[in-house]
Amino acid sequence: MSQALDEQLNNAHDDNLIQLVTFRIAEEEFGVDILAVQEIIRLMQITMVPRAPSFIEGVINLRGKVIPVINMRTRFNMPPAEPNSSTRIVVTEFDQKIVGFLVDAVSKVLRIPANTVEEAPPVLAGIGSEYIRGVGKLGDRLLILLDLDNLLSNMNLDVQ
């Protein structure tokens, strides 16, 4: 993901669109490169894993594969919330590992011009800037583009 998105951000032309899957965590809207997303599933039974990091909600069995699920609220130090009918798991592939992100709601797939994306300020929405690829301006709202490489690279995801 990072190399493709970096190239798109570096070649900021009006006709250069970035395609993102967008989702909400608390009041913030986030986006990840659509190429990193395998699927979006409804909340299912999550099995806790003893001694896992606090942001790992547990694991799910998705068609015979055990997949760690990261609670994005916990990962970004946001207050917990009860899951509801909008809660989803965004299944991504990172470094040949499949990982799920527990999010409050998936918004939609967006195509935004690369030239509407700016570098992130040092701290945004309580999230360290090392996890943010940039900020997309969509009219009067902002979309935080996550850097999955940095977000996941220093995590121990071997919870199986």
Count of structural domains, the chain: 1
Q: What pLDDT does 129 receive?
A: 65
Q: Where are the alpha helices (DSSP H) in the chain?
A: 2-10, 72-75, 148-153
Domain hosting residue 41, numbered range: 2-153
Residue 158 lies in a domain: no
Residue 160 lies in a domain: no
Q: What pLDDT does 151 receive?
A: 78
Q: Which one is predicted more confidently, 143 or 123?
A: 143
Residue 65 lies in a domain: yes
Q: What is the CATH number of the domain that holds 25?
A: 2.40.50.180
Q: pLDDT of 89-122, one tens digit each?
A: 999 987 788 999 999 999 999 999 988 898 876 6
Rounded to the nearest integer, the mean pLDDT of the chain is: 83
Residue 116 lies in a domain: yes
Mean pLDDT of 56-62: 96
Q: What pLDDT does 150 receive?
A: 78
Residue 31 lies in a domain: yes
User: SS3 letters for 65-104?
Assistant: EEEEEEEHHHHCCCCCCCCCCCCEEEEEEECCEEEEEEEC
pTM of the model: 0.81
Q: What pLDDT does 30 receive?
A: 94
HSE, side-chain direction, 13 A CA sphere, residue 14: 0
Q: What percent of the chain has pLDDT over 90?
A: 53
Query: CB of 112 within 8 A of CB of 138?
Result: yes
